[in-house]
Amino acid sequence: MGQDNCKPQPGDLIEIDRPLHHHWALYMGDGYVIHLIPIGKREGKKKGVKVPVFIRTVKKELLMEVAGNDKYRVNNKSDQDHTPLPVEKIISCAVAYIGKELTYCSFGSNCERFVKKLRYGEGVSEQWRVFVGNELHILDMRDDKEYPKPGDLIEIKREYYDHWALYVGDGYVIHLTPVDQKVPTMSTRNGMIVIRTVMRELLKEVAGNDAWAVNNKYDKYRSPLPVEEIIRRAEGCISKNLPDDVFCSNIEHFVTKLRYGGQLRAFVNGMLHILDIGDDEDDPIPGDLIEIKREYYDHWALYVGDGYVIHVTPIGKAG
């Protein structure tokens, strides 16, 4: 839905806020816009790296139908750097594209560049970026089928480190708050532990202008938990304070444990506890790792069900 004072004129660029990206259209007049819609995908190569090639068709539709319940606005921000073509030429060029199929990939043209080419005669895109085959590329539209799926791990390329989050659907991710001066720390014999808070936020707000991509890299080594279990575990952590130290846990470890299983620790009233995110209170489930606090060390066991564990016991001392 647009603002009441949003009155586009023919040739204006329309920016539509989707959950994970900004979709773009060109206003044609009488309530209609021209824009790209996804119709398929095939595989291509770039410098020997396989990349997706997206097939889009150019369609003229009512702006209200294209926007749906999403907010939209006129955004001719590039007018300050580029002179628009005459309105008649913009519209005639747009009409000539209706019904045509265009192909592009993550390092090529996209919906924003398409409509800006119509308005200015050249592409002036500021869309997000992603990594494909360890190379940085322009992000595709991420319409419909290109969304990450609930339970996916999201890798975000910060300037000096990689931030990680878990996608939970509807544009939201769960992640640990980044280090800053407001985050408390705790001193231990191994050094300082940063206390982080688990947050649920929109992916596009967490990523900002940084590149991001789905990265379930451990799937080839381990089978992820069922999606419902991943989401339940993740939502059970929201607002919890978790320790983050280089010896045990960090941002990536946190989300991988949510996806593949494993213990999570949290601070409750200043004390460190194993975080219980199970359905049956404190009962372990088969396959769980059990940490037992001995006087001078931690003993470990594997829970196999019916109250039993498997563990290693000493049987003597070699002479």
Q: 148-280 belongs to which CATH class?
A: alpha beta
pTM over 0.75: no
Higher pLDDT, 131 or 92: 92
Active site (catalytic) residues: 23, 111
Residue 129 confidence (pLDDT): 44
3 state SS for the chain: CECCCCCCCCCCEEEEECCCCEEEEEEEECCEEEEEEEEEEEEEEECCEEEEEEEEEEEEEEHHHHHCCCCEEECCHHHHCCCCCCHHHHHHHHHHHCCCEEEEECCCCCHHHHHHHHHHCCCCCCCCEEEECCEEEECCCCCHHHCCCCCCEEEEECCCCEEEEEEEECCEEEEECCCCCCCCEEEECCEEEEEEEEEEEEHHHHHCCCEEEECCHHHHCCCCCCHHHHHHHHHCCCCCEEEEECCCECHHHHHHHHHHCCCCEEEECCEEEECCCCCCCCCCCCCCEEEEECCCCEEEEEEEECCEEECCCCCCCCC
Mean pLDDT of the chain: 75
pLDDT-derived band at 283 (thresholds 50, 70, 90) equals: low
Residue 247 has pLDDT above 80, yes or no: no
* Better pLDDT: 200 or 103: 200
pLDDT of the residue at 122: 59
* pLDDT attached to residue 72: 93
Task: Provide CB contacts within 8 A for 271, sequence distance 6+.
Answer: none
Any residues with CB less than 8 A from the CB of 82 and at least 6 apart, and which? 120, 122, 124
Residues 218-243 pLDDT 10s: 888 788 999 989 998 888 888 887 76
pLDDT mean over 119-128: 60
Taking residues 100-129, what's their average pLDDT?
67
- Whether residue 88 has pLDDT greater than 60: yes
> What is the predicted pLDDT for the residue at 133?
46
Q: Where are the domains of the chain?
A: 13-127, 148-280, 284-319
Task: Give yes or no for residue 174 having a pLDDT over 60.
Answer: yes
**119 pLDDT tier (thresholds 50, 70, 90):** very high
With cut-offs at 50, 70 and 90, classify the pLDDT of residue 270. low
As a whole number, mean pLDDT of residues 92-117 equals: 77
Q: Same fold for the domain at 13-127 and the one at 148-280?
A: yes
CATH number assigned to the domain with residue range 13-127, chosen from the 4 options 3.90.1720.10, 3.40.718.10, 3.90.550.10, 3.30.420.10: 3.90.1720.10
How many whole angstroms separate alpha carbon 83 and alpha carbon 238? 48
Q: Average pLDDT in the 265-294 region?
A: 60
